[in-house]
Structure 1
Amino acid sequence: MAEVYEDVPHALLHKRVRDIASGVEGELMAVVHENVAASAFPEHWVDLAYVRSASGREFSTIVDNIEPA
């Protein structure tokens, strides 16, 4: 499995966002194009949003699950 990750520009970067799936709010720290496959083949690439909540803990979610808070 290739260990290649790529930062993706996003309009909400460093802004307050809400994860639709969990309802948690925080600051969008990064969007990364990442291979999330459990094994080398087939690869499965998605854009993941990394959000830092008020507690300081970061979590990831599919970028389509975020919206402005």
Structure 2
Amino acid sequence: MSEQYEHVPHHLLHRRVRDIASGVEGVLMAVVNENVSDAPTEHWVELAYIRGASGLEFTTSAANVEPAD
């Protein structure tokens, strides 16, 4: 099995973004291609880590990230 995660470059990194799934805004801290499987078959997803106003980070699909107005 390969590495559990790898960082992915993103054009909105360190900018204010909105998670379109929840409507929550924050700063995009990282996008990670992460292996979320616990079985022999690997399943990779691109997760966006967003730091909200509270200072806590949450994840969403990288496809759900858009620039905040």
**TM-score normalised by length of structure 2:** 0.90
Q: Specify the alignment match of 1:22 in structure 2.
A: 22
Distance 2:41 2:20 in 1: 28
User: Identity across aligned pairs (percent)?
Assistant: 71
Q: Are residues 2 and 40 of structure 1, via their aligned partners in 2, closer, same or farther at CA, if it must alter by over 3 Å?
A: farther
Matched residue, 2:7: 7
Q: Does 1:56 align with 2:58?
A: no
C-alpha deviation, 1:3, in angstroms: 4.6
Which one-letter code corresponds to 2:53 in the other structure? A
- Number of residue pairs matched by the alignment: 68
Give, in angstroms, the shift of residue 5 of structure 1: 1.1
Q: Scaled by the length of structure 1, what TM-score is found?
A: 0.90
- Deviation beyond 4 Å, 4+ runs, structure 1: none
- Give 1:33 shift: 0.5
